[in-house]
Structure 1
Amino acid sequence: MNASVVLLDSDSIMRYFTRADEKGNFLLDKVGKGDYLLLVTYPKFEVFSKKIAVQQNTLHLDTVKISSQSTLLEEVVINQKIPIKIKGDTIEYDAGSFETEKNAKLEDLLRRLPGLTVSASGEITAQGKTVSKVLIDGEEFFGYDPKIAIRNVRADAIDKVQVYERKSEEAELTGVDDGVRLQTVNVVLKEEARKGIFGNANASIGNHSLFDANLFAAKFNQTERVGVTGSWNNMGNTGDASRIRMNNQIIGDPTYKSAGVNYENNFLKRKLHLTSSYNFNNNSLANESNSYNKRVLNNDITQETTQDESSWSDNKNNVLRARMRYKIDSLSNLDVQLNANQGATESANKSNSTTIRNENTRANDFIKDNSSQSDTENMDLRVDYRRRLNKNGRSMNIHLNTQFDNADASSLIDEKTNYYDSLGNFQRSVIIDQTRLTENTNNRIGASVNFSEPITKQLNLTVGYSFNTGKRGGLVNAYNNNIDAGGPQLDTLYSKNQTDLSRNNGLDLNLTYYTEKLNINLSNRTSYRYQELKDSYRDIDLNRNFWQNNLHANITYRVSNSKSFTLGYQNTANVPSFSQLQPLQPPTNDLYRQLGNPNLTRETNHALNVNFSKFSLLKASSLNINAQTSFTNNAIVNRSIIDSVGRTTASYVNISDHTNWNARMNVNYGRPIFSGIVQFGPFASLFYDNNYQYINGDLNKNNTANANLGISANKENSKLVDFNINVGVGLTKEANTIQTQFNNTAFRSSTNADLKYILPYKLSLSQIIFYSYTGKTKVFPEPIQQFYMNVELTRKLLKSEALLVSIKAFDVFNSYNNIRRSAGNSSFSETQQAMLSQYAMLGLKWDFNKNLGKKND
C-alpha cells in the first residue's frame, strides 16, 4: 500500500506518477505512446525497475514483486531526482528535470523553470522580483555583466539552479543586517563540468553595412577558472546578432567594442581564493530625436513643449575588480576587495525647442549647441577581518573601507533663449556663451567593529560600532566668452566652489533566532550625522546634524518542506542631501533655477513586504505571492513654480500633512502540462501609488493604478515545435486633483511569441512575433499599436551540431512603431528617435566544448 509508481521517459525525466491503493493496485491513465522505464519504490525495500513499451491498447502488468533490503546481500544506492525543492529560504531546481535542446545555454534553461522569466534583453525575474546577481558555484563570473554567464554557460553542464534572497554586500561583510535583500540566482555545476574548455564564436554581416562579432571562451579546471570575452558591432551594446531576439531595433548610429577577462583560482593549499576581472568597452552613438511634452498646471493653464535634438557621444571605460579571501588559520579569515574604474567621455548636443502656453501663445524658444569632454577615475578598497573568539561561536568582525573619486570636465556652452510676452510678441533674448571647467573630488573612509555572541543554540546577538567620514569638493568655473571685454570673465551665477564634509557615528544591534522552521532577524542602527557645506563663491556656510534610526525585521516560517512564508518590515530615516540643503545651486540654463532649503528635516519611510511560496514536488508546480507597501512621512519633494514665460524656479520642501504611499502585489503560478512537455504559468500584478507633489506651487494629489493579468507557456525539447509565449492585458488609471478633465483610464495588451519549428535535415525556423496595444488618453486621442515580426532560418552542421549557419530578417513587414509615450504627475510625453528596425543578416556560430560535462568511462 502507498508504494510510489513512476514512469520515466528515455531521457530519465518523470512523465507519470501515482501511488498504490490499500490493495497494492495502481493505474496510470492517459499515458502517451512510447518506451518507458517503470520504477516502483517503497522505503526499506529494493527499487523495482522494468522497461515497458506503451502502444494504443491498455497495458496490464503482472504482479510486481519487491523485496526487503534486509534480504539483499549488496548495498543498494537509491538516487532520487525531485524537480523542485525548498531548502530553508532557497528554492532549488534540478536542471536535469527540465528539457532543453542540444547546445542550449543557461538562459534557455532559466526560461523553463517555474517562477522565472528572462526578457529579450537578458533581465531575469524570479518570483516577481528582479534578479541582481548571477553566481556560478557561489562566485561571480564576469560579475560586471551577468548576461555573459546566462548566455554562455551550457545548460548540460548545470546540476542545480538555486534562487534565494541574499543580504546586501555591506551586510554580508559587516555582519549587520541593513534590511536590503538582493534576489540571486546561483548555478551549481555538475562535478564533471568543473573541468574542461567551452565557449562560442559568432560573426554576422548584414545590409546597411551592419556587422556583429562575439567571442567567449572559458577554461575550468576544478578550482581554476579562466574566461575571456570580446565583442565588436555597429548595432549597439545589446547587439549579439548570433541569436534572434525581440527588441533588436538599432537606435541611431552606434558602435560598440568590448573585451574582458575573468580569472579565479585557489592558492596556498586552498587557503587563498582569488577572483578578478578586467573589462574595457568603447561605446559611441550618434542619434536624432524629437519629443512632445504637455504639462498640466493649475488655474486651467497648460504648457506644451516640442523639441528636435541631435546628439553624439563616445565613452571609453576600464573596469578592474578583484577579491581575495584568505583563511589565515582555523579561527581567522581575511577578505579584501578592490574595485577601480577609469573612463573618458566626449559628447555633443544640439537642440531647439518651443514652448506654447494654453495651446496658442508662444512662451519661449530655446536653442543650444553644447559639447563637453570629461575624465573620471575612482577606486574602492574594502578590508574585512573575521576571527572566532571561542568554541561557542563568539566572533569579531573588523571592517575598513576607503574610496576616492575624481572627475574633470570641460564644456562649451552655446545657448539662446527667446522670451515672449502674454500676447506672444517677442520680448527679449538671453544668450549664454561660456566655457565651464569642472572639478569634482570625493574621498571617504569608514570603519566598523562588530562582536557576535551566541546566547543559545538558536539565538545570536551582534553589537557593533561604525564610523565614516567623507569630504567632497565641487568646483565649477563658468567663463563668459566675451571678446569685447578682453577675454573670458567668471560668471558667479553659473559657478561654485563648494566643499562638503560629513561624519557618521552609528551603533548597531542585530538579533537572530533560528530553528528548523522559524528564522527571525531583527536589526537596528542608530546613528548621528553631521553635515557641513561651504561655498566661497556665494558666501555659504551651512552646517546641520541629524539623528537617524533604521529598524529592520524579517521573519521566515517554513510551513513544510514545500511551503514557506516571509514577512519583512523596514523603518528608515532619510536625511536631506547636500544639494537639497544648499540655498542656491548654479543653473545649467536660463529656463531652470534650482534652490535648496536649509530648513529641511528628515523624511521617514515604513515598508512592509510579504512573500508566500508553495511547491508541489509531485506535480512540479509552484505558486508565488509577494506583496509590499511603503509609506513616506514628511516626504522631501521638489516644489516648482513656472512663470508666464515658461521659466521654472524649484525648491525642496517637506510635505508634513500628507503621506505618500504605494502598494504592489505579484502572483505567479507555474506547472508542467501535457505530460511535462510544456511549462504553463498564469500571472497577475497590481500596483497603486498615492503621491503628493507640487505643481506650479499648488499641492497635487496623483493616484496611479495598474492592473495586469496574463499567461505564459514554454516548451523546449527540440521536437516539432518549441515556443515561449506571453500574453497579457492591463489597465492604467491616472488621476490628479489639478485639472481633473485630463484624468484617464487606458487599456493595454501585449502578446509576444518566440516560436521555433524543428525541420528535417537539421534545419529550424524561428519566428519572433510581438504585438501591443496602448489605449488613447485625454491628451493623446489616438491609441498606439505595435507589431513586428523577426524570422531566422538555421542549419546545424557537423555531427555534434556545434556549427550553425543562419539567415535572419528583422521587422519583416517594416511595421515597427517608433512612438513612445509616458505619463505621470500631470505630465504627458511622446518621443521618437532615429531607429533602424528592418534589416537582414547572415551569420555563422560555433559552439565548442572539450570534456566539459562529460563523465569518464
Structure 2
Amino acid sequence: MNHFIKSIFLLVVLTTAFLSSKAQNYTVKGSILDTAGLPLPGAVVRINWVKDSLGVSANTDGSFSFTKVKSKQFTLTAAFIGFDTFTRQYTITQGNGIVIPNVKLKPTSNTLDAVVISGVPPVKITEDTVSFNAASFPVREGDAVDEVLKKLPGIKVDKDGNVTNQGAPVTKIKVNGKDFFGTDVATAIKNLPADIIKNLQFIDDYGDQAKLTGIKTGEPEKVLNLTIQEDKKKGYFARAQGGVGNSDRYNTSFRGNSMKGERQLSFDGTVNNANLRGGGGDGITTRNAGGLNYRNEWNPKISANANYNFDNSKNNTISTAHTQNFLDSYTRLEDSKNDNINNRYNHEFNGNVEYKSDTMNYLKVSPQFSYNTNNGNSGGFSTITQNDLITNRNSRNLNTSNSLFLKTNLFYNHKFAKKGRNFSYWGGVNYSNGDNFKDVSNDYLISEGGVDSTRLQNQLTDQNSHTLGTYSGFSYMEPLWSKTFIEFNYNYSRSATSSVRDTRDVITGEQVFNPDLSNNYDYQFITNKVGVNYRFIGEKLNYTLGLNGQPAVLKGQNISKDISTIQRTFNVIPSARMVYRFSNQESFEFNYWGRNNQPGFLQLQPIADNSNLQNVVIGNPNLKPEFIHSVNARYKQSDWNRGHMLTAGLSYNQTQHKIVTTKMLIPNTVNQISSYTNTNGFYNLSGDYNYSKPFFERKFTVEFSGWGSLNNNVAFVDQNKNVAKNAVWRQELELRLDLENIVNFEIETSYMQNRTTYSQENFEDRQTNRFEYGIEGRNYFFKDLTIGYDFTKQINSGYDNSFVKNPTLLRLFMEYKFLKKDRGTLRLDGFDLFNENSGISRDVFDNVIVDRQVNRLGRYFMLSFIFKVRKFGA
C-alpha cells in the first residue's frame, strides 16, 4: 500500500508538470459521394497532419465528422472499396473548423489477394483480434508487408497504401506491440520485409484502460500489429530507388530499418513529383518528405518509442465545375473554373514512454507536437445564371497560415493484491494556436434585363485562434464473484476556444475597418460523465452492461457584439457489449454505445461572413450538440483445416439533433444565405459479408464479398424539409491464382446499384448502376524477370451528363533483377496507358447536381534503378 501511495504521489507530480502543455481541437466535416453524387456509407476517411492522423467511416448519408483534428493544415484521404482514393490538402482559414465541399470518389479496381494456407493454422480468432500466420500467405522474395496484406481475406490495400479491415480503416500500426511510424500505416507496411514477419494481427483497440480491465465501450480503433520472427530480430534492411520519366517526372526514395533485439531504428524519405503517396489524386503534387522511427526497451521496467515526420508538399489543382440547382420554378446554373496552388510544410513528433516500477504499477506518458505552415494562391471565374439574371465573378485569394499543436497524455494503472481489483487514472492537456491571413478579391459583373452593374470587393482578414483543452478521469474495478466485476468511472473534459478576427475593406487603396465581419468570439464545451459497468467473464460468454449519465454545457460569448449563448443537455447513455465464442474458430459479438458531437466554431458564430457575396454564411449560436446511438453485431468463423473464412456484420446508427446546412436564396439575386440547424430523422442500417475459400492445394482462391445500406437523410431546400431515402448495395467476386515463381494473378468483378427517393414531389428519384471488372497480377519469367499489370474497366449507367465517362485504366511494369543476391533492379513503369485518368466526377445531393473535372497526372513512363541490401539473423 505504501508503494501505491508513492505511485499516486508520482502521478500527481507528473500530471501537474504536464498540465503546462497546451492544445486545440479543430472540426472537419463533409460528405463522401460517388460520381453520381450519391452517398458512399462506410467510406474510409482519414485526416493526416504533421503529428498525427485520424480515421472514421462515413455515415449512412455519406457524411463524416472529425472533432479532434489538431492542425489547421491537413491532408484528407477518402477511400472506398471499388473506388479510387481521394487525397487533397486543406487549410482551416477561419475559426476552428471547416466544412469540406462534397468529396467524390471515382470507381477503380483495387484487388484483394486471397488466402493460401500452409500446414499451420492460417487464421486464429479471439475476442478482439484476428491473427493471420504470415507463413500461410507466401509472397515473392523481396516483397514488403503490403504484398502479404493484399492476400488476407477481408483486407484491402489501396494504391496509396491505406489499409482497411472489413471496410474500417486501420489507423495505427505496431511492431511487437510497440508503435511503429505511429499512424503512418502506408509508410510502415512498405518498410518491413515480408519474410521476417511471423503474424499479422488485426486488433480492435479500445484503449489502455480496456487492455487492463477488460471493460470495452465505444468504437474501437483498428490496429495492425506485426510480430517479428525471433531469429529475425537482429539485422538491417535498406532500399534506395531513383527514377526518371518523360514529362519531367522523377521519383527518388530511401528507406532503411535496423533491429537489434528490442531496439529498432527506421527511416523513410522521398523526393518526387509523380503524385506518389497521394497518388492519382487531384492536381499535380511535388513532395519532399522524411520520417524517423525509434523504439527501445532498455530493461523490463522502461521502454519508449518516438516518431518524427517532415512533409513539404506543393500542389497545383485546376478544376472546372458545372452546377445545376433545381428549385421550385426554375433551375439555377453555375459554371466555374479555379486554379489553386498550395505549398505546405509540416513537422510532427509523437511518442510514448512506458514505466513499470513493478508488476502492480504501470505508467505511460504520450507527448505530441506539430507545427504547420501553408501558403496558398488561388484564382477563378464563375458565372451564375438564374432566369434572366446573370452574375460573373472573378476571384483571387491569397492566404498564409501557420498552426502549432501540443499535447500530453498520461495514463496510470495500479493493480491491487486482490485479483481483479484495480485503479486507473488518465488525464492530459492539449493546446493549439493558429494564425491565418487572407487577401480576398472579388470582382462582380451583374446583368439583369440587359442592364449591367459592377461591384468590386477586396478584403483583408487576419485571424488568430487558440484552444486549450483539458481532460481527466478515473476508473475503479472491484471483483464481485469469481467471474463478475463491477466498475465505476468518471470522465471530465473541457475545451475553450478564443478567436480574434480583424477584417478590413480596401477602398480606393485605403484599408477601412469592417466591424460587421470583425469579431472577438469565445466558446467552451464542458462534459462530465459518470458511469457504472457490470462485467461477466465466462468460458464462452463475456458481456458488459453499463449506464452513464452525461451533462454537457456549450457556451458562446461574442465579445465584439456583447452576445452570450448557453446550451445545456443531459444524456443517459446505456452501453452493452457481448461476445459469445462457439469455439476457437467461431464467435459472435454485439455492441451498443452513445456519443455526442459538439458544433464547430464557424457553425456557432452569429455573424455573417460575406467574403463571397454569392454565398453568405451565418452561424447559429443556438445549435445543440449531436447525439449518436450506435448498434452493431458481427459474426466471425474460420476453418483452420479447410482454410476458409467468413465474417458478416450488421449495424444501425441514429443521430439526434443532427446539424445540417440550410440554404435560402435572396429574392431577385443569385446570392444565397447559408446557415445551420438541428434536425432529427437521420438513421442508417447497413450490413456486409466476406467469404474466402481456397482450392487445389490452396493455389486457387475464390472470395465473395458484398454490402448494402439503407439511409434516411433530412435536408432543407428553400426552408422546405426534404427526406431522401437512399438504398445502395454492392456485390463483388474475386478469383485469385497463386503459382509459386510463376504467377500471382487476380480477376475482380463487381456490380453496384444506388437509388435515392425524395419526399418532395418536384424532385426526381435517381438511380445509378455501375459494373466493373479488372485484372491485376505479376508473371515471373526465369528467376530475374517480372511483368506486372493492372487493368480496370468501368461501365456506368444512370448518368445524364456527357462529363461522365466509362474509363479504362491500364498500368504495366517490367522488373529485371541483377547483381549479387539480386541487390539491383531495373524497373520500367507505364502509367495510365490509355490516358483516361481524367478526374471527371459527379456529385448529386439534395436538389443539386455538380459535374467536376480536375487536372490529374495522366500517361507517363518512368525508368527506375532500385538497390537493396539486407541481413537478418545471426
**Above 0.5 in TM-score?**
yes
8 Å contact kept, 1:285–1:313: yes
C-alpha distance in 1, partners of 2:709/2:839?
Answer: 27
- Secondary structure of 2:822 counterpart: coil
Comparing 601-610 with 253-262, which one deviates more in the overlay?
601-610
After TM superposition, give the deviation of residue 695 of structure 1 in Å: 0.9
- Secondary structure of 2:146 counterpart: helix
After TM superposition, give the deviation of residue 625 of structure 1 in Å: 0.7
Question: Equivalences for 1:533-552 in 2 at 5 Å?
Answer: 533-552=556-575
Output one character per residue of 1:45-92: Cα deviation in whole Å (capped at 9) or x when no partner.
xxxxxxxxxxxxxxxxxxxxxxxxxxxxxxxxxx97212222333222
C-alpha distance in 1, partners of 2:787/2:356?
Answer: 53
Q: Structure 1 residues 430 and 457 mapped into 2: Cα distance closer, same or farther (>3 Å)? A: farther
Structure 2 stretches of 5 or more lacking a match? 1-117
After TM superposition, give the deviation of residue 850 of structure 1 in Å: 0.8
- Say which of 645, 650, 656 aligns to 1:627: 650
C-alpha distance in 2, partners of 1:82/1:176?
Answer: 29
Instruction: Supply the AA of the counterpart residue of 1:81.
Output: V
8 Å contact kept, 1:417–1:590: no
- Say which of 424, 427, 439 aligns to 1:412: 439
After TM superposition, give the deviation of residue 253 of structure 1 in Å: 3.5
- Secondary structure of 1:835 counterpart: coil
Output one character per residue of 1:674-699: Cα deviation in whole Å (capped at 9) or x when no partner.
32012320111112211111011111
Instruction: Supply the AA of the counterpart residue of 1:737.
Output: S
Instruction: Determine the structure 2 residue equivalent to 1:260.
Output: 291
C-alpha distance in 2, partners of 1:174/1:618?
Answer: 34
Instruction: Determine the structure 2 residue equivalent to 1:729.
Output: 751
8 Å contact kept, 1:168–1:180: no
8 Å contact kept, 1:472–1:500: yes
After TM superposition, give the deviation of residue 790 of structure 1 in Å: 1.3
Structure with greater contact order relative to length (CA < 8 Å, sep ≥ 6): 2
8 Å contact kept, 1:174–1:398: no
- Say which of 857, 860, 871 aligns to 1:836: 857
- Say which of 428, 431, 435 aligns to 2:460: 435
Instruction: Determine the structure 1 residue equivalent to 2:788.
Output: 766
Q: Structure 1 residues 206 and 738 mapped into 2: Cα distance closer, same or farther (>3 Å)? A: same
8 Å contact kept, 2:191–2:268: no
After TM superposition, give the deviation of residue 742 of structure 1 in Å: 3.1
C-alpha distance in 2, partners of 1:114/1:450?
Answer: 37
- Secondary structure of 1:410 counterpart: strand
Instruction: Supply the AA of the counterpart residue of 2:368.
Output: N
Instruction: Determine the structure 1 residue equivalent to 2:479.
Output: 454
Q: Structure 1 residues 179 and 219 mapped into 2: Cα distance closer, same or farther (>3 Å)? A: same
Comparing 752-761 with 433-442, which one deviates more in the overlay?
752-761
C-alpha distance in 1, partners of 2:183/2:656?
Answer: 36
8 Å contact kept, 2:173–2:183: no
Comparing 172-181 with 634-643, which one deviates more in the overlay?
172-181
- Secondary structure of 1:385 counterpart: strand
Output one character per residue of 1:722-756: Cα deviation in whole Å (capped at 9) or x when no partner.
21332111111122233556322221112232121
Instruction: Determine the structure 1 residue equivalent to 2:169.
Output: 130
Instruction: Supply the AA of the counterpart residue of 2:292.
Output: V
Comparing 596-605 with 334-343, which one deviates more in the overlay?
596-605
Instruction: Determine the structure 1 residue equivalent to 2:392.
Output: 365
8 Å contact kept, 1:770–1:787: yes
C-alpha distance in 1, partners of 2:181/2:523?
Answer: 35
Output one character per residue of 1:776-834: Cα deviation in whole Å (capped at 9) or x when no partner.
33x42675201021111111113522321111112223344431122222221211122
C-alpha distance in 2, partners of 1:611/1:389?
Answer: 35
1:698 is the counterpart of 2:727: no
After TM superposition, give the deviation of residue 405 of structure 1 in Å: 0.4
- Secondary structure of 1:238 counterpart: coil
Instruction: Supply the AA of the counterpart residue of 1:842.
Output: L
After TM superposition, give the deviation of residue 169 of structure 1 in Å: 6.3
C-alpha distance in 1, partners of 2:659/2:550?
Answer: 20
- Secondary structure of 1:104 counterpart: coil
Instruction: Determine the structure 2 residue equivalent to 1:562.
Output: 585
C-alpha distance in 2, partners of 1:751/1:326?
Answer: 52
8 Å contact kept, 2:750–2:772: yes
- Say which of 671, 677, 681 aligns to 1:647: 671
C-alpha distance in 2, partners of 1:719/1:174?
Answer: 47
C-alpha distance in 2, partners of 1:799/1:552?
Answer: 60
Q: Structure 1 residues 169 and 282 mapped into 2: Cα distance closer, same or farther (>3 Å)? A: farther
Comparing 507-516 with 167-176, which one deviates more in the overlay?
167-176
Percent of pairs with identical residues: 20
After TM superposition, give the deviation of residue 251 of structure 1 in Å: 4.5
After TM superposition, give the deviation of residue 573 of structure 1 in Å: 4.5
- Secondary structure of 2:806 counterpart: strand
C-alpha distance in 1, partners of 2:703/2:379?
Answer: 48
After TM superposition, give the deviation of residue 175 of structure 1 in Å: 8.3
- Say which of 306, 326, 334 aligns to 1:305: 334
Comparing 369-378 with 537-546, which one deviates more in the overlay?
537-546
8 Å contact kept, 1:160–1:188: yes
Q: Structure 1 residues 430 and 535 mapped into 2: Cα distance closer, same or farther (>3 Å)? A: farther
After TM superposition, give the deviation of residue 481 of structure 1 in Å: 1.8
Instruction: Determine the structure 1 residue equivalent to 2:69.
Output: none
Q: Structure 1 residues 173 and 96 mapped into 2: Cα distance closer, same or farther (>3 Å)? A: closer
TM-score w.r.t. length of structure 1: 0.84
Output one character per residue of 1:518-563: Cα deviation in whole Å (capped at 9) or x when no partner.
1212334322223322222222122232223333322111112211
After TM superposition, give the deviation of residue 498 of structure 1 in Å: 0.7
C-alpha distance in 1, partners of 2:171/2:747?
Answer: 24
Instruction: Supply the AA of the counterpart residue of 2:322.
Output: Y
C-alpha distance in 1, partners of 2:325/2:209?
Answer: 41
Q: Structure 1 residues 514 and 291 mapped into 2: Cα distance closer, same or farther (>3 Å)? A: same
Output one character per residue of 1:649-673: Cα deviation in whole Å (capped at 9) or x when no partner.
23333335xx221111111110112
8 Å contact kept, 2:206–2:218: yes
Instruction: Determine the structure 1 residue equivalent to 2:109.
Output: none
Output one character per residue of 1:438-477: Cα deviation in whole Å (capped at 9) or x when no partner.
1011111222222121222322222122323332111110
After TM superposition, give the deviation of residue 377 of structure 1 in Å: 0.5
Structure 1 stretches of 5 or more lacking a match? 1-78, 240-247
Question: Equivalences for 1:398-797 in 2 at 5 Å?
Answer: 398-421=425-448, 423=449, 425-426=450-451, 428-483=453-508, 487-574=510-597, 576=599, 579-643=602-666, 644-655=668-679, 659-738=681-760, 740=762, 742-760=764-782, 762-777=784-799, 779-780=800-801, 784-797=805-818
C-alpha distance in 2, partners of 1:391/1:497?
Answer: 55
Q: Structure 1 residues 281 and 305 mapped into 2: Cα distance closer, same or farther (>3 Å)? A: same
1:86 is the counterpart of 2:125: yes
After TM superposition, give the deviation of residue 287 of structure 1 in Å: 2.3
After TM superposition, give the deviation of residue 492 of structure 1 in Å: 1.8
Question: Equivalences for 1:273-352 in 2 at 5 Å?
Answer: 273-297=303-327, 299-352=328-381
Instruction: Supply the AA of the counterpart residue of 1:345.
Output: N
Instruction: Determine the structure 2 residue equivalent to 1:236.
Output: 275
Residues matched between the structures, number = 756
Question: Equivalences for 1:1-400 in 2 at 5 Å?
Answer: 81-168=120-207, 177-238=216-277, 249=280, 251-267=282-298, 269-297=299-327, 299-357=328-386, 361-400=388-427
RMSD: 2.3
After TM superposition, give the deviation of residue 505 of structure 1 in Å: 2.4
After TM superposition, give the deviation of residue 841 of structure 1 in Å: 0.7
Q: Structure 1 residues 679 and 136 mapped into 2: Cα distance closer, same or farther (>3 Å)? A: farther
C-alpha distance in 1, partners of 2:619/2:552?
Answer: 19
Q: Structure 1 residues 614 and 177 mapped into 2: Cα distance closer, same or farther (>3 Å)? A: closer
Instruction: Supply the AA of the counterpart residue of 1:452.
Output: M
C-alpha distance in 2, partners of 1:410/1:598?
Answer: 25
Comparing 323-332 with 537-546, which one deviates more in the overlay?
537-546
The structure whose Rg is larger is 1
Output one character per residue of 1:290-331: Cα deviation in whole Å (capped at 9) or x when no partner.
11121222x243222111100111000110112101012332
